Amino acid sequence: MTEPTKHPAEHRLMSPDTELKRALGLPALALFGLVYLVPLTVFTTYGIVTEQTGGRLPTSYVFTLAAMIFTAFSYSAMVRAYPVSGSAYTYTSRSFGGHAGFLAGWSLLLDYLFLPMINYLVIGIYLNAQFPAVPIGVFALVAIVLVTVLNVVGITTIANVNVAIIAAQAVFIVLFVALAIKTISGQPVDLLAPFTGDGSVAGLGPVLGGAAVLALSFLGFDAVSTLAEEAKDPRRDIPRAIIMVTLGGGILFIILSWLAQAALPATTFDDVDSAALDVMAKVGGQLMSTFFVAAYVAGAFGSALTSQASVTRIMYAMGRDGVFPRALGSLHPRFRTPVLAIAIVSVVSLAAELISLTTLANLISFGALVAFSAVNLSVVRHYIGKKRLRGGRAVVRYLVMPLVGFALTLWLWTSLSSTALWSGLIWFGLGVIWLAVLTKGFRRPPPTVEFTE
């Protein structure tokens, strides 16, 4: 890794103890993103969005994928410009300055802090459904401890665990597709019903509201960008992995949600949080339900593992820059991982049982969509504003596409529930207050570290 530019006031922020190990190639990066998405995450909010849209879950996924693919191109453009840790925080800081960067990073922290939590919650929900005698919180606590230990050990260990998790989910998906097709072929089915719904909920508004919630399903491509300092060739491999994860994940979500609703065209469930179990029982009985829980819990565990790795690296980057306490910007001397940040995320995750699945899903999507909007605008600022690229291709790539991505993410953002919007705005307000304290009433810029590759 090329040494970062060290200004006198910043020299103490950078040392060999703050350099991450470059160990990840394109396959590992794409795998990291896919595991972060969790191919089975389509079933995390399956009941919630199916009820909300009146059976139009695949349609909501189409809208979400349309918004995410434009944003994925924006992330690809920015990681070529700034192949360092920090994701939306780094891109916005370098494009609009430290104040805007802090607020983008603060918004991103909302979804990254809560994404491990939602995984611990669904692990508890589904394991409790199989073993009712054991409380949800006990399963969640065991998962938190295991994830914390693996994150402390290091990123290469996580990459190795990811291989096994993806393999288990791949086997389940193949079996589910086969059984769902068999179920559909044995009953009269309206093949368009999963896109048009059953008529119980009318209008495009609920579909867009569902699409906004589903933004959390696409956080894998964003997570890949946080590993730029651990990639062997970040300018080449990170952009490729981002596009691969976004397209592959989106298409898979649409197919799986269509098959599930075609096999079981229900729009109301006794337990909306574990509605996927109704689908599994329909296509394969109790054995399939048990297999689903095993594969789904493994996927949620993998997502918790990778999401905690990502949020700790964002906290690491912000601590390294002095935006957060500088202790967060240090690494463990043996494992080369940000242990303090990992511990903080684990403590926050203990609140998993106190927040509902619906609320968590909406809050995560709020933070994600705000950060996605900031990255889309950063592309315009960096390439058109600062680098002054002109010409037809540059205008399309660095002006039109990111502005379309910004408009779509803004549209989804305003489609979230009022509870999510107000909660997210309160979080954003807390960020503004902390920024005011940090900069003594906005009279000085937040501390930053300039990187060169």
End-to-end CA distance of the chain: 7
Q: Are 419 and 362 in contact (CB under 8 A)?
A: yes
Would the pTM of this model clear 0.85, i.e. be above it?
no
Report percent pLDDT > 90 for the chain.
Answer: 26
- Distance between CA 320 and CA 74 in Å, rounded? 25
For position 157, what pLDDT does the model report?
Answer: 57
For position 44, what pLDDT does the model report?
Answer: 85
Chain segment 337-387, per-residue pLDDT in tens: 788 888 888 888 888 777 888 888 888 888 888 888 999 999 999 999 999
Taking each helix axis as running N to C, give the angle between helix 88-96 and helix 98-130, from 0 to 180 degrees, rounded to the nearest 10: 170
- Which CB contacts under 8 angstroms, 24+ apart, belong to 336-339? 336/20, 336/21, 336/154, 337/151, 337/152, 337/153, 337/154, 337/155, 337/312, 338/312, 338/313, 339/152
CA distances, 170 to each of 17, 166, 296, 299 (Å): 38, 6, 11, 10
Q: In sequence order, which residues have a C-beta less than 8 Å from that of residue 420 and are 6 or more positions away?
A: 359, 362, 363, 365, 366
For position 448, what pLDDT does the model report?
Answer: 62
Chain segment 31-73, per-residue pLDDT in tens: 777 776 777 888 888 999 999 999 999 999 999 998 899 999 9
For position 449, what pLDDT does the model report?
Answer: 47
What is the mean predicted confidence (pLDDT) over 287-302? Answer: 86
Q: 9 falls in which pLDDT band (50, 70, 90)?
A: very low
pLDDT surpasses 60 at 155:
no
Chain segment 102-134, per-residue pLDDT in tens: 888 788 778 778 888 888 988 998 899 889 999
Q: What is the CB neighbour count within 10 angstroms for residue 316?
A: 26
- Distance between CA 120 and CA 141 in Å, rounded? 8
Residue 24, SS3? strand
- Distance between CA 275 and CA 265 in Å, rounded? 12
pLDDT surpasses 70 at 435:
yes
Q: Which amino acid is at 178?
A: A
Chain segment 376-421, per-residue pLDDT in tens: 999 999 999 999 988 888 899 999 999 999 999 888 888 888 888 8
Question: What number of residues does the chain have?
Answer: 453
Chain segment 297-333, per-residue pLDDT in tens: 887 887 788 778 777 877 787 777 777 777 777 776 6
- Distance between CA 295 and CA 280 in Å, rounded? 12
Average pLDDT, the chain: 82
> Which residue in this structure is represented by tokens 């297999």?
291
Q: Where exactly are the structural domains of the chain? A: 8-438
For position 59, what pLDDT does the model report?
Answer: 95
Q: Are 341 and 328 in contact (CB under 8 A)?
A: yes
Q: Helices (DSSP H) in 268-400: which residue ranges?
A: 276-320, 339-349, 357-379, 392-395
CATH class of segment(s) 8-438: mainly alpha
Element (H, E) at 383: none
Q: 441 falls in which pLDDT band (50, 70, 90)?
A: confident
Q: What is the CB neighbour count within 10 angstroms for residue 396?
A: 10
- Distance between CA 295 and CA 300 in Å, rounded? 9
Classify residue 393 by burial, with Cβ atoms within 10 Å: 0-12, 13-18, 19+. exposed
